[in-house]
Amino acid sequence: MRWNAFDTPVHDSQRVYRQLLSAMAEPGTFAEVDGAPVPPSDAAIGTACWATLLTLCDLDTRVWLAPELDAAGLGEALAFHTGALRAQCPADADFALVTPATLEGSAEREAPGFCEGSDTYPDRSTTLVVVLDRLNSDGPWALSGPGIPGVRRLDPGEGGEALMTRLAANRSRFPLGLDAILTCDGRLAAVPRSTRITRVEEVDACMSP
């Protein structure tokens, strides 16, 4: 098996979980996952993404993998190490592994429809685990709301527009929505559905007389 599990699963997964919890509680902050197994070189996902899956998935979770990310035997490795089931369709997924491009859809493929929960059970929704090529602050996206004193900025890299537009749409549907864990190599952040998202230019435009 070229995909490795945690060295000490109990403590390693606890440490990664606390980083995830903190990221979700304080959107727009970043954590570097260290001491986690590195995916094989031909994999389409990074350490933080793999560590997230190892930490959160088990027999009770259904995972949907975007076809472009299911490389180097990821699907088999995930089943082997966590026992997670593959979701038959995006709407069945507890976790969905995606890139910004996945969310956009294309001429050949419809944009996947994930589960946003129901009015009575908004928690029964898909959590996106997003694979990015860049993940920084100082981007064009301004985040505010719970977990954020004032405003934090986010740069989700290539295709960020599609991702952030999708997540910004959460606001009008709240409490329904998609929560996103963002990953780029060893780095992770999160944008829960409670976060208000605006493009900074728009904010500036609003504020000018």
Q: How far is the CB of 198 from another protein (least distance, A)?
A: 17
Give whichever of 14 and 88 is closer to another protein, judged by the CB atom: 14
H/E stretch holding 179 reads strand 179-184
Shortest Cβ distance from residue 22 to another protein (Å)?
Answer: 7
Q: How far is the CB of 190 from another protein (least distance, A)?
A: 8
Closest distance between another protein and the C-beta of residue 204, in Å? 23
CB of 169 to another protein, least distance (A): 15
Residues that bind another protein (CB under 8 A): 9-11, 13-15, 17-18, 20-22, 24-26, 55-61, 94, 118-123, 125, 127, 145-149, 174-175, 177, 179, 192-194
CA 150 vs CA 153, 160, 195: distances in Å: 10, 22, 12
Task: For residues 193 and 180, give the distance between their C-alpha atoms in angstroms, rounded to a whole number.
Answer: 8
Q: By C-beta, is 4 or 22 nearer to another protein? A: 22
Q: Tell me how far apart the alpha carbons of residues 121 and 186 are, in angstroms, rounded to a whole number.
A: 33
Instruction: CB nearer to another protein: give 44 or 148.
Output: 148
User: 11 or 109, CB closer to another protein?
Assistant: 11
Collapsing DSSP to helix, strand or coil, 93 comes out as coil
Which region, left, alpha or beta, applies to residue 145 given φ > 0 means left and ψ of -120 to 50 means alpha?
left
Note the Cα 140 to chain centre separation in Å.
Answer: 19
- Looking at the Cβ atoms of 58 and 204, the one nearer to another protein is 58
Q: Write the DSSP assignment of 121-159 as a string of letters.
A: -TTSBPEEEEE-S--EEEEEEEEESTT-SS-EEEE--TT
